[in-house]
Amino acid sequence: MEEIAALGRSKWRVALPRLDAGTPGLRVLVAAGLLAALVAGMVAWRSRPVAEPIVQRPPAPAGVAVVAAEPSPSPTSSVIVYVSGKVRRPGVLTLATGSRVVDAIKAAGGVRKGASPGGVNLARRLVDGEQIVVGAAQPAGPGPGAAQAPTGDAVVSLNAATAEQLDALPGVGEVLAQRIVEFRDAHGGFQTVDQLREVSGIGEKKFADLRAKVTV
């Protein structure tokens, strides 16, 4: 009986390979297991949740209201002016802020051939909404824009005078003064005093009264 049992154990040992720690196959299995465990540990460590720090702003002092700053409005980047008088293309023009009168005249085509800029200051910076009359003499009076009646031998410029200054001329009146301004704007200014005859409402007698009191 013992012989039979010994024989059985001998056959069993032959059927199963002997697991020897020194065999190459076992070493490979052990190394693979260690490598798999190492990789799994690294993946688990990298995927762990990381707490982000919370930035806390210091509280505002008592009684002080916190107001969000509003962006300041951007400055105007252009100006609009009206160029009339002795230029090639009179009209309303848009130029960059900081431009000067000479730039506006160039944008209007320049001064017409044979004409001169007159009393206009070419180096002055443009102001939004202003009118530039090219070729007109400097208006008489204490300052620009002053609407005063001509006195004595004072001469009024047909190209530079305001409607109020023209209204103060003898025999003109408000309606006729406005017609003179409209004629000036439509024709790019007066080239000669004689053109005053072409304004509706000015006959020979009235022209004779005005001739010595106006200029271009």
pTM: 0.35
Report in angstroms the alpha-carbon separations of 149 from 66, 102, 144: 59, 31, 14
Q: What is the pLDDT of residues 134-190, one digit of tens each?
A: 887 554 444 444 444 444 456 888 888 888 888 888 888 888 888 998 888 888 788
Taking alpha carbons only, the member of 210, 197, 84, 199 closest to residue 136 is 84
CB 133 within 8 A of CB 85: yes
Residue-level pLDDT at 96: 94
User: Which strands form 131-134's sheet, in the order they lie side by side?
Assistant: 91-96, 78-85, 131-134
Residue-level pLDDT at 144: 42
CB 188 within 8 A of CB 90: yes
Torsions phi, psi for 93 (to 5 deg): -125, 150
Per-residue pLDDT band for 56 (boundaries 50, 70, 90) equals low
Q: What is the pLDDT of residues 93-123, one digit of tens each?
A: 999 999 999 999 999 999 988 888 877 888 8
Looking at this protein, which amino acid is placed at residue 151? Answer: T
CB 170 within 8 A of CB 209: yes
